[in-house]
Every structure is written in C-alpha cells, then in structure tokens.
Structure 1
C-alpha cells in the first residue's frame, strides 16, 4: 500500500483507491487500475480469511478494528500524497496526526492483537483507538527516528516532506537544530513509554509488551541509519541471533 501511494499511482488514481478502501467492498474493484486490483483483492481476501478463522472462537468483532486501522493508514497516505501533489509543507501540528498513522504502527498494534486469547477484549481495542499514551509515544518515536535517517534518501526520489522540513519551516531553524530537537523528543518519548509500565492502564501487560516490542524494532532499524532500506551487519546479526542461531535453552 505504501509503495502504491509513494511510487506508482497518480494523484487521481489515489483518490479512487482511497475511496475504495473506505468502502471496503469487492464490488469497487472494477473502478481500479489493474495493478491496484491485485492489491485490493488480496487485502480484502486476507482480512476475510482472518475473520473466518477467529470467528470460530467468537472473536469476529475484532476484524472491525483491523479494517478501521487499515482505512486510517490509507487516509494518512492520501493526506501525505495531497501535500506532495500541492507542494505544501504543513505545520508540525498538521503533519503529526497523519504522519504517525502513516508509520503503520497504530495499525500493526491493532492487528497484532487479533489472534490473542481472552486477555484481549473489546475494551482493549477501544483503548487502542482512543489515543493511548504508549501507542502515541511509540508511533511518534517511530516517525521521528524514521525521518531523521531517511530524509535525504527520500528527497532524492521525490518524497513528501518530513518532520525535519516541517520543523525547520515552522520554527525558522537550521536542519541541524531541527535534528537536535527531534532527537531530544525521541528521548522524552521513551520516558513516556516507560511511564506506562509503572502505573495501571486500561490494557493488560501483554498488550503493552506488544507495543513495546514493536518500538524495540524501530530502535533497532532506525538508530543511526536506515536499517530497513539498507539491511547491514547489525540487523542481519540480530535477526540471525533470534531465528538462525538462537541461544539454546537449558
């Protein structure tokens, strides 16, 4: 979905595509270009398969939240595409609501709970969808760490403005001053995440750990370099230590 919005579609195609995702109806598929149809059909089919599986345990209500989180990602991508199409640099207050959703992390935090047992309830999903502090901190941290290490490469390929651009324009500072300010906010956001483990929340510890583990992945991939786009030794070794050469359990 990200590549469709960033690299392949025209703005006019994206208007139709976003509307189709909002409708979430296979009857929309004929309105889309062929390459979009492949993705759209797969997206709806995968979610249908998940719903069929978790319905066996009476948990099909969870799919509503998965769909809504995916629709939110599409809306955020479209907002960023609109800024790019118009050559517009938003304020930080305009940028962040869309940019933290476009990380995909609010969606990943949601869909990672679909197959969990009875520890996850409808109230847990409502907590996620009501601007939970730990999720907001995690996704904002992701956005800043991503922008800090990817901005130069993204600009070379004609990408939407990032938090660095928005901060520089809004506050009239240099690029280095913007980087320093965002790096400081990353440190403060880690404090917000840690704070959520020190007091009772509406979500069980297992759910908080899901969000924390997703944040740890960001810290691995984007600390000092874009380890997602350019996978190098550190990331390869970490993956190997977990899945290829794990420490044996005695």
Structure 2
C-alpha cells in the first residue's frame, strides 16, 4: 500500500504528462531496463516496485513451495503484475484529465475511478500470499470486476472522494465524484454528497449480499475484499485519516500496538 500511495502521488502531484507516459510504459514492459529512460525520482520508485515483486516471488518459492515455470512467473505473480499495470493505466487517464482541465461525466469517471481506488489491485496482491489456496479462476474473477468487487471499490472510491475532494481541489487534482456529479447535473455540493452517500449505502447492501450468498470461491477469499471495505470506514469516516494521519489514525495505531487492551 505504501508504494501504491507513492505511485499515486507521482501521477497526481509530481509527474508531468511527458514523464508519466514513459513511466506507464515502463510498467507495461516490467523490465529493469525500462527504468533507464525515467527521471531519477521515478526510477527509484519503479525499481523499488520491481524489487518488491521479485521478493514476493522468491518467498512464494521458498516458503509456499510455488516454483517458477521455465523461468517465468507463477500465475499468482502474473495476475499481481497485471493488476498493477491496470492501476497505473487508470492513473494515467486521470492525469490526462487533470492536465487538460477536463471534468468527465459520471459514467466516464466511475469505471476508471473504481480502478484507481486500488481495491482490485490490493485484493489480487493479498491473494498472492495465500499461495495454492487461490486458484487461477479467483484472480480472473477479481479482475473481471464482478458486482461484489465493484461494490467494494464503490465504497472505497466514493468515501475517499467525499472526505478528500476539498483539500485535493485546492492542491490541484483531477475532479472527484463530487465535482463530476455537480458539473453533470447542475447539483449543489450538498446534493452531490447526498447522492454519493446513497450509492455507498447501496454498495454496502450488495457487499453484504455477496457475503450472505457467497460464490463458488471460499469465504476466506471474499473476506479479503470485505475487510478492505471495513478498513475504509476507519480511514474515511467523516475525515481523510489516511492523508492526515497524525490524529485519529495515530491514536488507533497507539491503541492497537502500544497500549492494547489486556
């Protein structure tokens, strides 16, 4: 998650469009030689990502007994890399929108924003550590964005947009769901927020329905996504406690690790 936040900031804040296209292309290549054309700050981040994924693959081989096949990555790592590539492609689209001053309509914004929420990538990556418990079909199911996964991403994206859009617009950022809705429907900020909160409530219903009537995949896999949605309630309930982590988030971490209940 830390590296993903850094990549997100590169697309949102630090990178120019001229830099971001080669950065995205480097992820598509997934090769250390692709870093040679990048600015130094991007090179450091890109090489760190490749190192982390290499370490993940080594751990899968040494601890989970999943070897590479003819020098190629296992299907677990293949899907983990594909999820990261999908994420940076979506980040690039948002960067293009921002640099062009373009405010998309909701039906254009939401499909891309659900990817940049990061939950598809985080779910796939969390599956990797479960090794042989996760079949190839589970990865394909997540990346096909079924209703259960979409509901989780809607909760993450819209809760994030609701608590962070004012700060981000002041800093300079692609339009959030709030601005997209206001622009498309001529709505007030309050009306937009009420509608997005309604959509969040509907997404929770879909997510709970998916847990109560599980798919062919084990509950253990579904709970990975479900718990990510629970986490967003901690970080984004009433405030952006992920970006501004020195108060509520710090207090929670202190309670959990330093002063736990006996």
Using the size of structure 1 for normalisation, the TM-score is: 0.94
Q: Which moved more, 1:231-240 or 1:18-27?
A: 231-240
Task: Give the whole-Å Cα distance in 1 for the aligned partners of 2:257 and 2:125.
Answer: 22
Which residue is equivalent to 1:45? 51
Aligned pairs for 1:1-250 (under 5 A) are 1-56=7-62, 57-58=65-66, 60-231=74-245, 233-248=247-262
Asked if 1 retains the 8 angstrom alpha-carbon contact of 2:142 and 2:149, the reply is yes
Deviation at 1:118, TM superposition (A): 3.2
Deviates more, 1:9-18 or 1:119-128: 119-128
Structure-1 separation of matches of 2:44 and 2:251: 34
Shift of 1:230: 1.7
Structure-2 separation of matches of 1:26 and 1:117:
26
Q: RMSD of aligned C-alpha atoms?
A: 1.4
How far off its partner does 1:202 sit?
2.8
Gaps of 5+ in 2: 1-6, 68-73
Instruction: Name which of structure 1's ranges 55-64 and 239-248 shifts more when overlaid on structure 2.
Output: 239-248
Q: Deviations over 1:20-77 (max 9, x none)?
A: 1111111111111111111111111111121122134126220001101111110111
Cα displacement (A) at 1:99: 0.8
Q: Would the alpha carbon gap of residues 203 and 240 (structure 1) be closer, same or farther in structure 2, given more than 3 Å must change?
A: farther
The alpha-carbon deviation at position 7 of structure 1 amounts to: 1.3
Contact in 2 for aligned 1:127/1:202 (Cα 8 Å) = no
Aligned length: 248
Structure-2-length-normalised TM-score = 0.90
Shift of 1:170: 1.4
Alignment gaps of 5+ in structure 1: none
TM-superposed deviation, 1:235: 2.9
Runs (4 or more) in structure 1 with deviation over 6 Å come to: none
Task: Give the Cα–Cα distance (whole angstroms) in 2 for the partners of residues 84 and 177 of structure 1.
Answer: 24
| Matched position secondary structure for 1:118 | helix
Deviation at 1:131, TM superposition (A): 1.2
Q: Is the 8 A contact 1:21 1:71 kept in 2?
A: yes
Cα distance in structure 2, aligned partners of 1:42 and 1:236: 26
